């Protein structure tokens, strides 16, 4: 084994104790590519909807959830608090026809 690979031991000098440590390189991360493991607790109804979307879209559930979070986030920012709450109350009715009529009023 070469001397380069052996760890350097503390020599007991005061100089080594007071010497500043080497600055660590900050690791830059791309938030869109850095994946995190999270536990997501959902209702059985939500799980059924995810399975249905997964079957229709043919994509991983994590991508569907990520798209849903992005949609929720940007709708909330774009519509403002009051309009967003109105939209969410329309969504909670779980009536696609009512929601379609409601969204047609936005003139998208």
Q: 26 lies in a domain? A: no
Task: Indicate the pLDDT class of residue 4, thresholds 50, 70 and 90.
Answer: low
Q: 99 lies in a domain? A: yes
Residues 48-61: tens digit of each pLDDT? 898 888 888 888 88
Segment 37-45 shows an average pLDDT of 82
Residue 94 belongs to what domain range? 38-105
The average confidence (pLDDT) of the chain is 82
| pLDDT surpasses 60 at 103 | yes
Chain centroid to CA 16: 44
Q: 8 lies in a domain? A: no
Record the tokens describing residue 75, joined without a space.
Answer: 């709708």
| pLDDT surpasses 70 at 88 | yes
Q: Distance between CA atoms of 69 and 63, rounded to whole angstroms?
A: 10
Domain tally for the chain?
A: 1
Task: Indicate the pLDDT class of residue 98, thresholds 50, 70 and 90.
Answer: very high
Q: Distance between CA atoms of 25 and 82, rounded to whole angstroms?
A: 45
Q: 92 lies in a domain? A: yes
Q: 18 lies in a domain? A: no
């Amino acid at each position: 084994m070469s001397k380069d690979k052996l760890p350097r031991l503390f020599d007991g000098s005061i100089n080594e104790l007071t010497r500043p440590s080497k600055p660590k390189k900050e690791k830059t991360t791309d938030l869109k590519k850095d994946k995190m493991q999270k536990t997501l607790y959902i209702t059985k109804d939500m799980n059924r909807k995810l399975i249905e979307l997964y079957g229709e879209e043919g994509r991983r559930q994590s991508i569907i959830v990520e798209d849903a979070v992005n949609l929720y986030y940007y709708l909330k920012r774009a519509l403002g608090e009051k309009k967003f709450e109105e939209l969410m109350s329309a969504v909670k009715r779980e009536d696609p026809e009512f929601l379609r009529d409601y969204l047609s009023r936005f003139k998208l």
